């Protein structure tokens, strides 16, 4: 009885902790920067809560499809992307949203994107998460993912030392399908590609299992389900798209994650006396500003903090915030290697599963599709490597959780 009582007290404390820091972060962002920054911090909180309650995992969805041919997670991603292009393409085609200028993440189609996405994909399976997944699982209480996040940051920083070399590999100029085809034809082309991918998952899943996997049933309903989860995957994808669109409206650009991780690592090594400001990457105006200014001013950092706090709140409301520090050595090793690969690959590829894949495709950038192809190949390699690091891992063909 006392154990249950102690757990309830712990959950209650973590709920109040998450709420308090969400309020402090919001007020601080408003005081030091302005209303938009405060709203973006809260959007981050909503993203974290959505990711946690919907268990919207890019990594796990791809792993389940690669190993078990279960495609429910991939189909949810296609629905998410379909809604995204409907919302984003007209605004990006017009160059403004609600009277404010907006621009997408349109990056070169290059060898560095292909190699970076491949590296990132391997890191997803070893690290145990993607960029958004690492943040929300850390917020949700995963001690192991703290290791992944730390090395994710340092992998990102290491890549900034070498980016000039990587970016000078063979490449094409940035290609926007919105500019090439126009808004409506670009939407239709993307719809076709989403439908083809979804159809492939249906065919392969039925061939392997005879029927499609159904949504996991829950006894939670109404407000209780909203607060404690779980949310359906499709709900999660739709809400993530709406929040990404809110980011576009408030920040003038889509949701991104990993640029902030390089900033965090750079600020840390600067504090201990290692100067990275002379590197070419950190002499670019936007990066130099991010390095010199307090984190209150960095949109991506504030949204990332919001994601972790939103996930902490969601996990606490669900009664699932219970950090486990008993981590097997091989799992720690995978977190270290995986984190480094995630960080290094994301910088080479102009982003991660959010900045390059989700927001890249939503921006009409061809590099987003290149990222998807090579990251998926990387995930396939990563799945082959997992048995060494996770020897007791059992297949979970009927449930997609985490990232």
Q: Is residue 343 part of a domain?
A: yes
Q: What is the pLDDT of residue 322?
A: 83
Q: Is residue 159 part of a domain?
A: yes
Measured between alpha carbons, how far is 128 from 324 in angstroms, rounded to an integer? 15
Q: What is the pLDDT of residue 220?
A: 75
Q: Is the pLDDT of residue 150 over 80?
A: yes
**H or E element in which residue 100 lies:** strand 100-101
Residue 218, Cβ neighbours under 10 Å: how many?
A: 12
Radius of gyration of the chain (CA): 20
Q: What is the pLDDT of residue 1?
A: 44
Please name the residue that has the structure tokens 């950090």: 323
Q: Is residue 347 part of a domain?
A: yes
**What's the average model confidence in pLDDT over 376-391?**
95
Range of the domain at 59: 11-389
DSSP assignment, residue 97? Answer: E
**What's the full length of the chain, in residues?**
403
Q: What is the pLDDT of residue 400?
A: 41
The angle that helices 183-209 and 72-94 make with each other, rounded to 10 degrees, is 180
Q: What is the pLDDT of residue 221?
A: 77
Q: Is residue 203 part of a domain?
A: yes
Grade residue 392 by pLDDT with cuts at 50, 70 and 90.
Answer: confident
Please name the residue that has the structure tokens 């889509």: 254
Q: Is residue 400 part of a domain?
A: no
Average pLDDT, the chain: 93
Measured between alpha carbons, how far is 368 from 322 in angstroms, rounded to an integer? 36
High-pLDDT (> 90) share of the chain, %: 86
Q: What is the DSSP string of 311-341?
A: HHHHHHHTT---------HHHHHHHHHHHHH
pTM metric for this prediction:
0.93
The domain total for the chain is 1
Q: What is the pLDDT of residue 216?
A: 75
Q: Is residue 141 part of a domain?
A: yes
Q: Is residue 305 part of a domain?
A: yes
Region of poorest pLDDT, from 32-36, 219-223, 259-263, 386-390: 219-223
Q: Is residue 398 part of a domain?
A: no
Q: What is the pLDDT of residue 396?
A: 52
Q: Is the pLDDT of residue 401 over 90?
A: no
Q: What is the pLDDT of residue 4?
A: 46
Tell me: the pLDDT tens digits for 220-238? 778 888 888 899 999 999 9
User: CA torsion angle for 254, 142, 342, 136 (degrees, to 10)?
Assistant: -10
């Amino acid at each position: 009885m006392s154990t249950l009582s102690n757990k309830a007290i712990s959950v209650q404390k973590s709920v109040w902790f998450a709420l308090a820091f969400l309020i402090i972060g919001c007020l601080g962002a408003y005081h030091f920067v302005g209303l938009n920054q405060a709203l973006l911090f809260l959007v981050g909180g909503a993203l974290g809560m959505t990711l946690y309650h919907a268990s919207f995992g890019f990594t796990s969805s791809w792993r389940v499809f690669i190993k078990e041919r279960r495609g429910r997670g991939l189909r949810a991603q296609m629905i998410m992307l379909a809604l995204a292009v409907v919302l984003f393409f007209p605004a990006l085609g017009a160059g403004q949203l609600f009277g404010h200028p907006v621009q997408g993440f349109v990056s070169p189609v290059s060898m560095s994107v292909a190699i970076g996405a491949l590296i990132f994909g391997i890191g997803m399976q070893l690290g145990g998460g993607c960029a958004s997944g690492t943040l929300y699982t850390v917020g949700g209480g995963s001690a192991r993912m703290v290791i992944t996040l730390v090395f994710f940051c340092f992998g990102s920083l290491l890549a900034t030392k070498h980016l000039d070399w990587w970016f000078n590999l063979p490449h094409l100029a940035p290609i926007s399908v919105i500019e090439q085809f126009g808004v409506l034809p670009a939407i239709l082309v993307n719809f076709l590609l989403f439908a083809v991918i979804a159809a492939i998952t249906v065919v392969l899943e039925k061939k392997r299992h005879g029927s499609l996997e159904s949504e996991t049933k829950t006894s939670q309903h109404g407000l209780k389900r909203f607060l404690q989860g779980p949310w359906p995957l499709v709900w999660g994808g739709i809400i993530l798209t709406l929040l990404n669109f809110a980011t576009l409206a408030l920040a003038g650009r889509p949701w991104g994650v990993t640029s902030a991780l390089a900033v965090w690592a750079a600020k840390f090594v600067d504090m201990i006396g290692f100067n990275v400001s002379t590197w070419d990457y950190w002499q670019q105006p936007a990066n130099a500003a991010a390095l010199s200014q307090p984190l209150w001013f960095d949109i991506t950092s504030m949204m990332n903090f919001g994601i972790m706090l939103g996930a902490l709140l969601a996990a606490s409301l669900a009664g699932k915030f219970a950090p486990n520090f008993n981590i097997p050595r091989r799992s720690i090793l995978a977190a270290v290697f995986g984190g480094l690969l995630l960080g290094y690959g994301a910088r080479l590829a102009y982003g991660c599963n959010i900045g390059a894949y989700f927001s890249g495709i939503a921006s009409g950038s061809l590099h987003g599709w290149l990222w998807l192809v090579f990251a998926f190949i990387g995930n396939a390699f990563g799945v082959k490597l997992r048995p060494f690091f996770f020897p007791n891992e059992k297949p979970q063909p009927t449930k997609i959780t985490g990232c």
